[in-house]
Amino acid sequence: MEVRSKFMAFSKGARVRYTQRDQNGARKGWVWKRCGSSFLPVVLKKTEPDPVPNWGKLLDDVLVQIFERLPLQERSQVVPLVCRNWNKVSCDPTSWRRIDMLPWIQHQIDTECKWEYDMQPYVDYLVKKLVDRSRGQLRELHTMYISDEAVDYLAERCPLLEVLTMPSSLGVTDKSALKLARVARRLQHLDVSDCYNISKEAISAFGDNCPALEWLSRSMINQNVVNEAESSSSPPGGDEEAIVMSEHYPKLKRLEMKKTKISDRGLRRLVIGCPNLQQLDFSCCYQLTRGALDDVSKNCSNLAITKPITPRMHVTPTHPHCTMLFE
């Protein structure tokens, strides 16, 4: 009766299949097959079991690319304990060509309740440890809150550095920045935002010694950490630095100078001195006028300018405090 019911179901269009698996996982069984006006059971051929992927046989280059996408803590503490092969690959200098410390730093600030600028000794220590692991192969480093000690370490051991982002590093001065500029000649991307102890002298040194530099970030978002009464007449990120960039950065393509004191004079010099510019970000640069930005946009067809954001104060009747809104 069971075979008859299955036969009737198959004759109405349903697909009938009887399969089993042996001890090795191979499929076996039989199906109905039409032969003229009748149906006959046909035994299925024995097939091999579905292969199980062997993660231990991945190529070392593939493992390196996977490890680079993992969080820093997992790369250093979890991956080496998986197996011998993973331990070997994770300890190889090629696995530490690209390092992103920013998630780890933010995690320490959020979970350990540490002040941002108290992180400097911890970050310096970790930077030196990771540089030692790279053994001169470091290409890309994203960090912050470092000092001259860490920058000197980079200059001495990382001649192949191509990308360096170190915003909010008040402990970095011209002394170590000049040393790094003379060594890291392959540098393509540099972020020295909120580095208030780096002057236009170091900015010009990077332009003279790093011919491949195409992306520069020099935003001054946290200007409240600097006492304006004690600052010099040439504040960081002003027209003087813009003129230096126009004279020493001929291949510059992308520039970020958010919340700086650049004016129309510095903007025009930048556009003339850096003909390869493709993107400018001058958000919250209040000394720039709309007319100057529109003129530059019309005359430079390949240039995309992020226009300055005009702030206004808004007080809600139910809340005594003011909130800054942007439009």
Residue 70's nearest CA partner among 82, 59, 84, 52 is 82
7 — pLDDT class (breaks 50, 70, 90): very low
pLDDT, position 229: 38
Question: pLDDT band for position 307 (50/70/90)?
Answer: low
Q: Is the pLDDT of residue 225 over 70?
A: no
Alpha-carbon torsion (144, 148, 152, 153), positive or negative = negative
> Which tens digit of pLDDT belongs to each residue from 121-165?
999 999 999 999 888 889 999 999 999 999 999 999 999 999 999
Choose between 277 and 42: higher pLDDT: 277
Helices (H), the chain: 2-11, 60-68, 72-77, 84-90, 102-111, 120-134, 148-157, 174-183, 200-209, 239-248, 264-273, 290-299
Among the listed residues 311, 310, 270, 276, the one whose alpha carbon sits nearest the alpha carbon of residue 290: 310
Closest Cα partner for 164 from 151, 153, 176, 175?
A: 151
On the CB side of 107, how many CA atoms lie within 13 Å of its CA? Answer: 8
**Both tokens of residue 72?**
């820093």
pLDDT (0 to 100) of residue 71:
76
Q: Quick one: tokens of 211?
A: 């011919």
Tell me the average pLDDT across 277-295. Answer: 85
pLDDT digit string (tens) for 154-169? 999 999 999 999 999 9
DSSP bridge pairs for 141: 99, 164
Tokens 């280059």 identify what position? 61
Confidence band of 321 (pLDDT split at 50, 70, 90):
very low
Of 3.40.50.10860, 3.40.50.300, 3.80.10.10, 2.40.128.50, the CATH number of 96-326 is: 3.80.10.10
DSSP 91: T
Question: What is the value of pTM for the model shown?
Answer: 0.72
* CB-based burial label for 62 (10 Å; 0-12, 13-18, 19+): exposed
Q: Is the pLDDT of residue 318 over 70?
A: no
User: With bands split at pLDDT 50, 70 and 90, how would you rate the model's confidence at 93?
Assistant: confident
pLDDT score at 63: 76
**Could you tell me if 194 and 167 are in contact, meaning their C-beta atoms sit under 8 angstroms apart?**
yes
In this structure, are strands 311-315 and 322-326 parallel, antiparallel, or unpaired? antiparallel
Mean pLDDT of 241-245: 91
Locate the domains of the chain by residue range.
2-43, 56-95, 96-326
- Which pLDDT value is given to residue 256? 92
Q: What is the dihedral of CA 107, 113, 116, 117, to 10 degrees?
A: -130
Query: For 15, phi and psi rounded to 5 degrees?
Result: -95, 120
